[in-house]
Amino acid sequence: MSQNDTNPFSTIAHLESINQCIQCGTCSGSCPLADLMDHAPRELFALIREGAYEEVLHSNTPWFCVSCYACMVRCPREIPVTDLMYALKEVITKQGTAPQNLKMPDMYQAFSRNIKDTGKVTESLVMARYGMKHPMDALKNIPLAIKMQMRGRLELKAQKVADPKSIARLFELTETSKDKP
Amino acid sequence: MTTQNKPRIGVYICHCGMNIAPKVDVEEVARSIQTLDHVTVARDYKFMCSNPGQDMIINDIKELGLNRVVVASCSPRMHEKTFRNAVKTAGLNPYYFQMANIREQVSWVTKDSQEATEKAKSLVAAAVGRVFFHQPLETREVSVTKSVLVIGGGIAGMQAALTSANAGYEVYLVEREPSIGGHMAKFDKTFPTLDCAACIMTPKMVDVLQHPGITLYTWSEVHKVEGFIGNFEVTIKKNPRYVDEKKCTGCGTCMQKCPTKKVVSEFNEGLSFRTAIYTPFPQAVPNVPVIDADHCRVLGQNKKCGVCVKFCETKAIDFEQKPEFVTLTVGAIITATGFQAVNPSGMEQYGYGRFPEVYTSLEFERLNNATGPTSGKVVMKNGKVPERVAIVHCVGSRDTRHKKYCSRVCCMYSMKFAHLLREKTGAEVWEFYIDIRSPGKLYEEFYNRVQEEGVRFIRGRVAEITDIVDDATDEGRLTVIAESTLTRRTVRVPVDMVVLSVGLEPARGSEDIGRLLGVSRDGDGWFNELHAKLAPVATPISGIFLAGCCQGPKDIPDTVAQSMGAAGEAIALLAKGIVTTQAEISRIDPDLCSGCKSCIESCSYSAIRFDEARKVAVVNEALCMGCGSCAAACPSSAAGVKHFTDQQVMGEIESILL
Amino acid sequence: MKICFYPGCSFATSAGYKESTEAVCRKLNIELNEIPDWNCCGATVMFGENKLRATALAARHFALVQTMGFEDLVTGCNACYATLRKAARLLTEDQELFQKTQEVLQNLGLKLDRIPKIRHLLEVLMEAMPDSTSDRYKTLSVGAYYGCQLTRPDQDLDKGDYPEILEHFLDRIGFSVKEHSARTQCCGASHAVIYKNECQGLSQRIIREIANKGAEVIATICPLCQFNLDQAQIQDNGPRLPVTYFTQLAGLALGLAPAELGLNKLLVSADKVLTRP
């Protein structure tokens, strides 16, 4: 563990709020997916304060945040936990340190790519792209997809904005990594 | 200005140890000030407030013939008195002194050393510019009325009243509830020694009642406060009891016979009912019931009833009673208005109000109390004894959404509950805490004792309490969810009962009392003490003192100690028998006064009267607090405050600007 | 009433949300003005990828709403609602981000002068729906399910953990409401799609709790919540509760036919509970 490395998260808005954390565990106790995290939010904040940045860069925690905001409305120090999880993901994505074999980053990538291409999300297409990396997951969903199809709830054709190029342009314009998370 | 009076100013720059120097280059400030007109000497010294520091001033006055002194050090709130006394000792009028604050206003708040030095020079120069125009002022002595008003009849107020009365002074104790006793009367045991609260409390209540020096006003409120230290004029409003205290024998028949039996009991925290005519608890002092007008059939509903009248043998019931106003003069006031428990309804994740088996700590105190709704049996609403109980710490405390402070008593009372639960029910007890705070004599030992008794301490703040059933065998139970931060696991503990250890907040109505007394409150609503360390029971209003939780959360030992301290301060004031009025008061120049009376309207202390013969406003020097409202209101510049003359203030400003 | 409506990507393929919303609005004379050429709000994904991009994707709509002459933007999806609100909040708080977003929008030929108020479709119907005058559904007991992102993190519409507005709404339009404790428990959201085994329990716990408290039908206000609760029952031996949209129940209360409301699209059939005398 390299304690003296510069903090890769230092540009995150409101990161300083974790200095107020009293390590009470309300966030982790409120988290529906804490059991899947290697370091639930409380511990992740402690790691950042300790300077264990590598550990945090490779943590799966932010990827399991479901954005339910339960932690955020209960935190007795009003730390914007969910917002910080988003920002951590952004730093981790830009640094390319998301854990290998973790499914969520691939899902996010497929989702984002779908928006970039068409401006809108078509669930079947997101699943198809994601399925290229995780074929078992895609196969497991086929029976459900059939049921959905029977009820007219599966759209296989891409939903699109009128001018998909404008969304692609929006992606390009926001590509610069200098923007603060 | 005569030659004799030609200002010879001595200026003293304090290092304040490491507080002012080295941030401010004190030697440089002294050198620079030395060059100013009328400055005879400018020196710097490590601690001006110390004996050698004061002696330096005294010697210079005597040997160099100084007639004005400036000390540049800390806040005048800290040491103005010290230096005025030094000046006085040397034979000068103490008002020939001015203080410059180069600690709080300079060294503590300025980053750059050079900038700090320059600012210090300006402020010291301003003080020199001001002291040049100072004039000698005189104080006056006023005699003190040898009695004390105590507001609030909880353990704090009772103790303050007893100590003051034992010293031989007349005490008036005002309590808004029907009985004295406050919160402590609701408790069963007290930590860490587990004394029975009633056993140590009720004799004190009786002492208060029987003490010849104490006049008790229960069911009463402070209505108006005027005057100042030594002679406060206080009006007390006695609410109608509808029972004649002199005739009532306290036999209790009226309460037994009253047909209105379903009024929620405040004393039992809503866990039981009382009648419309009632005493809050059997040991109430005075043992005289009150009639709750809202619920009484006669008073509240205009119905025919009169059962109490019929059964009262001494004819003590009096539906015609009206509020009574009593006016008293007291030399000192002790405020002991206490606290109330934080209402946890706002924290919906804990389900208080939704789940019948979620209790607040005060409710649990009553549940556990021999005089409580279950006669001290700790049972659930269904009558069964709980097998597993969770105690949730820090409910409403240490939470920026509610009370940011630690309420200080909850850890200890929570552990008391754990002990009592283990002892009485054998239930498994889980304490969910963030940090255990047990600083106090025998407190850590009590923590250890409760640990030995097998209480399970889980370090984690409870995230949620739910009635969602995850395992059919837990049907009917609540589940407490928290991260056990030491094992990094989320624990889900099915329990029968939950106690929320709610924090403390200022009692309802403290804002009004604060306004009546002119005592300010901090951001959390607690009354401000004069100095956090050195004047913890005094308030910024001379003659008004604080006792107990109204100043901030505290436990019984600290409350009693502080109450005795407050009484001690009051006694010291009364024993001396005289107070010195301040010299910095208003004067109205009769030659300039146009008689418009604007000042009279603006004065909050009723200190200005109108002289009909001369048609001018006149200041009552005993009442004036020197606030300056009249000076601001006066359209003809007739009113002004001594020691804050235009000339003095302008002298100060000019020295900064030029 | 005219509203500016942002349907979001899941609206059209949802289990009758689109049909029921349109039918109810027609009946209530609410003119749904869909934002022309709307795009995905970025949902819970984009803020984790790039804050400026996420803000710009959302803000593109704010500029469009402005050109349509509306002050409010209404959506029926919790994720869209929370995401658009987050963008709106950031644009108000962070001047630098606003400037950068503005530059991006100007590059796309748009301009942002005003940030609309983001509202949920539930708020609109709470105002527009008349009180019930019929007893027809008085015996149909409904459990209201809010999901996470309507009342969190802002809590301005109602309390974050234990809101009550949906209960009040359903009661007012003539249903029997069952109080329960799972109203804002998380269903696993998008994680449920790929972490099926891990998240299945979350949805099943919600359904069991609602059933335990005596409800026969669940009312949802978000396509992803509806989908998760609906599909979780297929692989479970637990109770079977049709998972409807509040708009479908509103439609029934207005006397519309189940088919008109897309109720045939539910995985767990609503026929048994809805075809009552």
How confident is the model over A103-134, as pLDDT tens digits?
Answer: 999 999 999 999 999 999 999 999 999 999 99
B603 and B568 share one domain = no
Measure in Å the smallest separation between the Cα of B465 and chain A Cα atoms. 11
C65 and C138 share one domain = no
pLDDT of the residue at A178 = 65
A48 and A86 share one domain = yes
Q: Is residue B67 pLDDT above 60, yes or no?
A: yes
From chain C, pick out residues whose CB is under 8 angstroms from the CB of A104.
191, 194
Q: Average pLDDT in the B61-70 region?
A: 96
pLDDT of the residue at A140 = 87
Average pLDDT, chain B: 95
Could you tell me how many CB contacts below 8 A there are between chain B and chain C? 21
CB distance A24–B464 less than 8 Å? no
In a domain, B651, yes or no: no
Nearest to A174 among C53, C160, C265 (CB): C53
In a domain, A112, yes or no: yes
Q: Which of B400, B430, B432, B461 to mutate to test the interface with A (most CBs of A within 10 A)?
A: B461
Measure in Å the smallest separation between the Cα of C96 and chain B Cα atoms. 28
Measured CA to CA, the distance from residue A181 to residue B23 in angstroms comes to 39
What is the enclosing helix (H) or strand (E) of B501?
strand B497-502
From chain C, pick out residues whose CB is under 8 angstroms from the CB of A33.
188, 191, 195, 198-199
Query: Which of these three, A95, A120, A136, is where a domain ends?
Result: A95
C154 and C174 share one domain = yes
A81 and A146 share one domain = no
B378 and B499 share one domain = yes
B482 and B517 share one domain = no
A80 and A117 share one domain = no
Determine what percent of chain B is predicted with pLDDT higher than 70.
99
From chain B, pick out residues whose CB is under 8 angstroms from the CB of A31.
490
| Contact between residue C244 and residue C266 where contact means Cβ atoms under 8 Å apart | yes
Residue B506's region, left for phi above 0, alpha for psi from -120 to 50, else beta, is beta
pLDDT of the residue at A170 = 96
CATH number of the domain bearing residue C243:
3.40.50.11810
Comparing CA positions, the residue from B496, B502, B466, B481 lying closest to residue B345 is: B502
CB distance A153–C14 less than 8 Å? yes
pLDDT of the residue at B607 = 85
CB distance A29–B400 less than 8 Å? no
Give the lowest-confidence range in B2-16, B52-66, B445-459, B627-641.
B2-16
Task: Please state whether the peptide bond connecting residue B192 to the residue before it is cis, i.e. omega within 30 degrees of 0.
Answer: yes
In a domain, A3, yes or no: no
Which chain B residue shows the shortest CA-CA distance from C159?
B348
Nearest to A68 among C9, C15, C148 (CB): C148
Domain count, chain B: 5
DSSP of C135-166: -TTTT-EEEE---STTTTTT-SSS-SSS--HH
Which chain B residue shows the shortest CA-CA distance from A70?
B463
pLDDT of the residue at A181 = 77
Measure in Å the smallest separation between the Cα of B524 and chain A Cα atoms. 16
Q: What amino acid is encoded at B426 in this protein? A: G
Nearest to B490 among A35, A43, A76 (CB): A35
Could you tell me how many CB contacts below 8 A there are between chain A and chain C? 168
What's the angle, vertex CA B80, arms to CA B576 and CA B571, rounded to 5? Answer: 20
pLDDT in tens, B517-569: 989 999 999 999 999 999 999 998 899 999 999 999 999 999 999 999 999 99
| Contact between residue B422 and residue B381 where contact means Cβ atoms under 8 Å apart | no
C111 and C160 share one domain = no
Measure in Å the smallest separation between the Cα of B395 and chain A Cα atoms. 10
Q: Quick one: CA dihedral C70, C75, C78, C80, positive or negative?
A: negative
From chain A, pick out residues whose CB is under 8 angstroms from the CB of C44.
66-67
Which chain A residue shows the shortest CA-CA distance from B463?
A26
Would strands B277-278 and B290-291 be described as parallel, antiparallel, or unpaired? antiparallel
Measured CA to CA, the distance from residue A52 to residue B427 in angstroms comes to 42
C83 and C145 share one domain = no
Q: Is residue B378 pLDDT above 60, yes or no?
A: yes
Which chain C residue shows the shortest CA-CA distance from B352?
C162
In a domain, B152, yes or no: yes
A60 and A124 share one domain = no
In a domain, C149, yes or no: yes
Would strands B141-143 and B578-580 be described as parallel, antiparallel, or unpaired? antiparallel
Measured CA to CA, the distance from residue B178 to residue B172 in angstroms comes to 16
Domain count, chain C: 2
Query: Which of these three, C104, C122, C140, is where a domain ends?
Result: C122
Measured CA to CA, the distance from residue B381 to residue B307 in angstroms comes to 32
CATH number of the domain bearing residue A44:
1.10.1060.10
In a domain, C171, yes or no: yes
For residue B215, give the 3-state DSSP assignment: strand
Measure in Å the smallest separation between the Cα of A79 and chain B Cα atoms. 10
pLDDT of the residue at B658 = 76
CB distance B468–C161 less than 8 Å? no
Nearest to A76 among B399, B459, B460 (CB): B399
Domain count, chain A: 2
Query: Which of these three, C67, C93, C122, is where a domain ends?
Result: C122
In a domain, A181, yes or no: no
Q: Quick one: CA dihedral A85, A89, A95, A97, positive or negative?
A: positive
Nearest to A111 among C39, C45, C191 (CB): C45
Q: Quick one: CA dihedral B378, B379, B380, B385, positive or negative?
A: positive
B394 touches chain A (CB under 8 A): yes
Q: Is residue B500 pLDDT above 50, yes or no?
A: yes
Nearest to A36 among C60, C108, C198 (CB): C198
In a domain, B653, yes or no: no
B188 and B332 share one domain = yes
Measured CA to CA, the distance from residue C228 to residue C202 in angstroms comes to 9
| Contact between residue C120 and residue C223 where contact means Cβ atoms under 8 Å apart | no
Q: Is residue B4 pLDDT above 70, yes or no?
A: no
In a domain, B599, yes or no: yes
- Domain range holding B86? 9-137
pLDDT of the residue at B2 = 43
C30 and C66 share one domain = yes
- Domain range holding A137? 103-173
A130 and A75 share one domain = no
A89 and A107 share one domain = no
Which residues of chain B are at the C interface, by a Cβ-Cβ cutoff of 8 Å?
348-349, 351, 354, 464, 466-470
C152 touches chain B (CB under 8 A): no
B331 and B188 share one domain = yes
A91 and A119 share one domain = no
For residue C67, give the 3-state DSSP assignment: helix
Contacts of residue B364, defined as CB under 8 A and 6 or more positions apart, other chains included, come to: B417, B499
Q: Average pLDDT in the B169-177 region?
A: 98
From chain A, pick out residues whose CB is under 8 angstroms from the CB of B481.
29-30
**Phi, psi at B380, each rounded to 5°:** -80, 175
A107 and A87 share one domain = no
User: What are chain B's partners, defined as 3 or more CB pairs within 8 angstroms?
Assistant: A, C
pLDDT in tens, B124-146: 999 999 999 999 999 888 899 99
B145-to-A28, A138, B153, B264, B335 alpha-carbon distances in Å:
61, 89, 22, 43, 18
Residue in the block written with tokens 């269904």: B382
Query: Which of these three, C122, C149, C179, is where a domain ends?
Result: C122
CB distance C181–B466 less than 8 Å? yes
In a domain, C225, yes or no: yes
Comparing CA positions, the residue from A44, A149, A58 lying closest to residue A100 is: A58
pLDDT in tens, A35-71: 999 999 999 999 999 999 999 999 999 999 999 999 9
B349 and B368 share one domain = yes
Buried b (16+ CB within 10 A) or exposed e, B369-399: bebbbbeeebebeeeeebebbbbbbbbbbbb
In a domain, B1, yes or no: no
B40 and B127 share one domain = yes
From chain C, pick out residues whose CB is under 8 angstroms from the CB of A86.
47-48, 51
What ipTM did this prediction achieve?
0.95
Residue B353's region, left for phi above 0, alpha for psi from -120 to 50, else beta, is left
Q: Which of C180, C181, C208, C212 to mutate to test the interface with B (most CBs of B within 10 A)?
A: C181
In a domain, B657, yes or no: no
Measured CA to CA, the distance from residue C74 to residue B490 in angstroms comes to 38
From chain C, pick out residues whose CB is under 8 angstroms from the CB of B479.
none
Give the lowest-confidence range in A176-180, B376-380, B533-537, B593-597.
A176-180
pLDDT in tens, C4-57: 999 999 999 999 999 999 999 999 999 999 999 999 999 999 999 999 999 999
Q: What angle do helix axes A164-173 and C51-68 make, rounded to 10 degrees?
A: 130
| Contact between residue C151 and residue C160 where contact means Cβ atoms under 8 Å apart | yes
CATH number of the domain bearing residue B158:
3.50.50.60
Residue in the block written with tokens 């995150």: A12
CB distance A141–C193 less than 8 Å? yes
Nearest to A23 among B400, B401, B485 (CB): B485
Query: Which of these three, A95, A129, A163, is where a domain ends?
Result: A95
Q: Band of the pLDDT at B228, cuts 50, 70, 90?
A: confident
Nearest to A43 among B462, B481, B488 (CB): B488
CB distance A173–C48 less than 8 Å? no
Nearest to A68 among C39, C42, C186 (CB): C186
CATH number of the domain bearing residue C84:
1.20.1050.140
Nearest to A108 among C10, C49, C195 (CB): C49
CB distance C162–B466 less than 8 Å? no
Task: Please state whether the peptide bond connecting residue B178 to the residue before it is cis, i.e. omega within 30 degrees of 0.
Answer: no
Q: Band of the pLDDT at A180, cuts 50, 70, 90?
A: confident
Query: Which of these three, B112, B137, B162, is where a domain ends?
Result: B137
User: What are chain C's partners, defined as 3 or more CB pairs within 8 angstroms?
Assistant: A, B
B358 and B369 share one domain = yes
Q: Is residue B13 pLDDT above 70, yes or no?
A: yes
Q: Band of the pLDDT at B585, cuts 50, 70, 90?
A: very high
pLDDT of the residue at C276 = 64
B279 and B426 share one domain = no
pLDDT of the residue at A177 = 59
Which chain B residue shows the shortest CA-CA distance from C163?
B348
- Name the percent of chain A in helix, strand, coil, to the closest 5: 60, 0, 40
Query: Which of these three, A63, A95, A127, is where a domain ends?
Result: A95
Q: Band of the pLDDT at A1, cuts 50, 70, 90?
A: very low
Number of alpha carbons in the 13 Å side-chain half-sphere of residue A5: 15
From chain A, pick out residues whose CB is under 8 angstroms from the CB of B462.
26, 29
From chain C, pick out residues whose CB is under 8 angstroms from the CB of A154.
13
B106 and B199 share one domain = no
B220 and B262 share one domain = no
A19 touches chain B (CB under 8 A): no
In a domain, C127, yes or no: no
| Contact between residue C245 and residue C217 where contact means Cβ atoms under 8 Å apart | no
Q: Quick one: CA dihedral B110, B116, B118, B119, positive or negative?
A: positive
From chain C, pick out residues whose CB is under 8 angstroms from the CB of A180.
51, 96
In a domain, A80, yes or no: yes
From chain A, pick out residues whose CB is under 8 angstroms from the CB of C222.
none
A116 touches chain B (CB under 8 A): no
List, for chain C, all residue ranges whose pLDDT scores fall below the cut of 70: 276-277
Nearest to A30 among B394, B463, B485 (CB): B463
A120 and A88 share one domain = no
Measured CA to CA, the distance from residue C58 to residue C43 in angstroms comes to 9
Comparing CA positions, the residue from B573, B552, B557, B574 lying closest to residue B336 is: B552
In a domain, B216, yes or no: yes
C179 and C246 share one domain = yes
- Domain range holding C51? 2-122
C20 and C70 share one domain = yes
